[in-house]
Structure 1
Amino acid sequence: MPDEHRLEEKFLSQEAEKRISEKLDEVEQIEIDVKTDLLKIAQGQADGVSVTGQGLVIQEGIRVQEIKLQTESIAINPFSALFGQIEFNEPVNAIARIILTEIDINCALASDFVRSQMPNFDLDVDGKIVSFEPEEIQVFLPGNGKIECRGKVLLKEMGNTRPFAYTALLRPRTHSQPAMLESFHCTEGDGISIELVIALMQKAKELMNIPYFKWEDIAFSIKDMQIETGSLILMVETQLKQIPASLSELSL
Structure 2
Amino acid sequence: MPDEHRLEEQFLSQEAERRISEKLDEAEKIEIDVQTDLLKIIQGQADGVSVVGQGLVIKENIRVQEIHLQTDSIAINPFSALFGQIELNQPVNTIARIILTETDINRTLASDFVNSQMQDFDLDVDGKIVSFEAQKIEIFLPGDGKIESRGRVLLKEKGNTRVLGYTAIACPRTHSQPAMLESFNCTEGGGISIEVVTALMQKAKELMNIPYFKWEDMVFHIKDIKVGIGSLILMVETQVKQIPSSSILPSS
Query: TM-score normalized by structure 1?
Result: 0.96
Contact 1:58–1:248, Cα closer than 8 Å, also in 2: no
**In terms of mean alpha carbon deviation, does 224-233 or 112-121 score higher?**
112-121
Partner of 1:11: 11
Secondary structure in 2 aligned to 1:243?
coil
Deviations 1:136-164 (A, max 9, x none): 10000001100000011100001111110
Q: Which runs of 5+ in 1 are unaligned?
A: none
Secondary structure in 1 aligned to 2:196?
helix
Partner of 2:211: 211
> Offset of 1:235 from its aligned partner?
0.5
Q: How does 1:6-155 map to 2 (within 5 A)?
A: 6-155=6-155
Distance 1:112 1:209 in 2: 27
Distance 2:201 2:151 in 1: 16
* Letter of the structure 1 residue corresponding to residue 149 of structure 2: C
Secondary structure in 2 aligned to 1:27?
strand
Q: How big is the alpha-carbon RMSD for the aligned residues of Structure 1 and Structure 2? A: 1.3
Secondary structure in 2 aligned to 1:85?
coil
State the 4+ residue runs in structure 1 displaced beyond 4 angstroms.
246-249
Secondary structure in 1 aligned to 2:134?
strand
1:151–1:247: structure 2 CA closer, same or farther, 3 Å change rule? farther
Contact 2:68–2:97, Cα closer than 8 Å, also in 1: yes
Q: Which runs of 5+ in 2 are unaligned?
A: none
> Offset of 1:244 from its aligned partner?
1.2
Distance 1:232 1:56 in 2: 16
Q: How many residue pairs align between the two structures?
A: 249
Contact 2:217–2:248, Cα closer than 8 Å, also in 1: no
> Offset of 1:10 from its aligned partner?
0.8
1:134–1:113: structure 2 CA closer, same or farther, 3 Å change rule? same
Partner of 1:231: 231
* Letter of the structure 2 residue corresponding to residue 57 of structure 1: V
Distance 1:74 1:153 in 2: 45
> Offset of 1:60 from its aligned partner?
4.5
Deviations 1:24-58 (A, max 9, x none): 11110000001111110001000000011000011
> Offset of 1:247 from its aligned partner?
11
Give % identity. Answer: 79
Query: TM-score normalized by structure 2?
Result: 0.96
* Letter of the structure 1 residue corresponding to residue 84 of structure 2: G
Secondary structure in 2 aligned to 1:25?
strand
* Letter of the structure 1 residue corresponding to residue 138 of structure 2: Q
